[in-house]
Copies of this chain bind each other. A is one copy, B any other.
Amino acid sequence: MTDKTLTSSGFYVSQEAPIHADNPIATPSSPAPDILRCAYMELVVTDLAVSRAFYVDVLDLTVTEEDENTIYLRSLEEFIHHNLVLRKGPVAAVAAFSYRVRTPEDLDRAVAFYEELGCRVERRAEGFTKGIGDSVRVEDPLGFPYEFFYETEHVERLAWRYDLYTPGALVRLDHFNQVTPDVPRAVKHYQDLGFRVTEDIQDEEGTVYAAWLRRKPTVHDTATTGGDGPRMHHVAFSTHEKHNILAICDKLGALRRSDAIERGPGRHGVSNAFYLYLRDPDGHRVEIYTQDYYTGDPDNPVVTWDVHDNQRRDWWGNPVVPSWYTEASLVLDLDGNPQPVVARTDASEMAVTIGADGFSYTRPGEELPEYKQGEYKLGHQL
């Protein structure tokens, strides 16, 4: 852990993302497309009516358009056609992690970039979903279905329509999170695609458990979480304030659907954002997120957390539930078949933290109080 500076908050900062891949994917000579931001996710759901009830009636996303097989949803501040697509299908999975690029010409760059990598690439001038024009979809080197587009139908940004806001109003799509077995390999590849690392979790031997990567100047547009993959860990929408997230919990309680709450609410260590994790009717994980920080300067300090710091994933030290580590959604190839899942071989974050031999701490070198120990050493029982 060289060239890292310990901060007064207990984590480290450095200038270069301190992550090195032993088994890197080649860097294409073709320039990467200029990605603006994560733009939408296409989710395959098994019962469209049940999913609609969750995303529209509970989470109050706005329906831009819908038909019997597909619902196009957006958050209140979005002006492009949608930032979530629900499509009916036989197996719950993710059909696309879709990014908006700066210009139409970036699609040509995307094609060249992935073809040079030997990836399967498909381009459709009319788009893969309604409301989106010329698009490129690929099976990326890590097995994820990535999409790039520029053309889109504009819809009204409803930011000022406070008559439509509910107490838990979602305003923006914030980020994706991908599960992949080899985090450094994934980081290196996404750096080649133009992403920058903002934070990561490591141990003292340099094992990397997760990393956060951004294009827009927030903490992330996507993150790579170590685990059996390729799988989708979660998709995150943001609210304006913390009370909006609490209101979603309150509403789920009132609807007797509190079992949709998997983890949180809480304050992240990583990202410093306030969060909540829900599970939709198919088990797809949705994060509600607010208030991370600006990362747009090229020398933005990279934050590295110790995997044994029990404030890294929850700043208040509340334990992470095991399902959050182990469960995730399948992703589809371009034929719509689930990608096979490859097991992680590096150490598991759950095992080294809440496992029976976990060594999590609030203050380095100090034991947790007795009433806290059970919470952190349950791994083998669960």
CB within 8 Å for A291 and B240 given contacts A154-B301, A160-B315: yes
User: Does the CB pair B159–A327 fall under 8 Å?
Assistant: no
Contacts of A265 in B (CB 8 A): 265
* A369, CB-defined interface residue at 8 Å: yes
Q: Are A371 and B255 interface neighbours, CB within 8 A? A: no
Chain B interface: which of A90-98, A129-137, A164-172, A177-185? A164-172
Q: Is the CB of B8 within 8 A of A294?
A: no
Instruction: Give, as a whole number of angstroms, the nearest-CB distance from A323 to chain B.
Output: 3
A267 touching B242, Cβ below 8 Å: no
Chain B residue at smallest Cβ distance from A255:
B163
Q: How many residues of A contact B (CB 8 A)?
A: 87
Closest chain B CB from A107 CB (angstroms): 14
Contact of A217 among B7, B216, B240 (CB under 8 A): B216
A184-202: contact bitstring with B at CB < 8 Å (1 yes, 0 no)? 0000000000000000000
Q: Which of A163, A257, A378, A382 has the most CB of B within 10 A?
A: A163
Each complex incorporates copies of this chain amounting to 4
A363 within 8 Å of B by Cβ? yes
B77 adjacent to A262 (CB under 8 Å) = no
A-B complex: 4 closest residue pairs judged by Cβ atoms: A323-B371, A258-B317, A162-B250, A253-B315
Q: Does A146 contact B (CB under 8 A)?
A: no
A375 within 8 A of B: yes
Query: Which residues from B are CB-within-8-Å of A17?
Result: none
From residue 355 to 382 of chain A, which have CB atoms closer than 8 A to chain B?
A: 362-363, 368-372, 374-375, 378, 381-382
B243 lies within 8 A of A267 (CB): no
Residues of B contacting A217 with CB < 8 Å?
A: 216-217
Residue-wise interface mask of A (249-278) relative to B, using a CB-CB cutoff of 8 A (1 in contact, 0 not): 111111111110110010101001010000
Do A374 and B322 touch across chains, with their CB atoms under 8 A apart? yes
- Cβ distance A4 to chain B, nearest Cβ, rounded Å: 13
Q: Is A109 an interface residue, CB under 8 A from the partner?
A: no
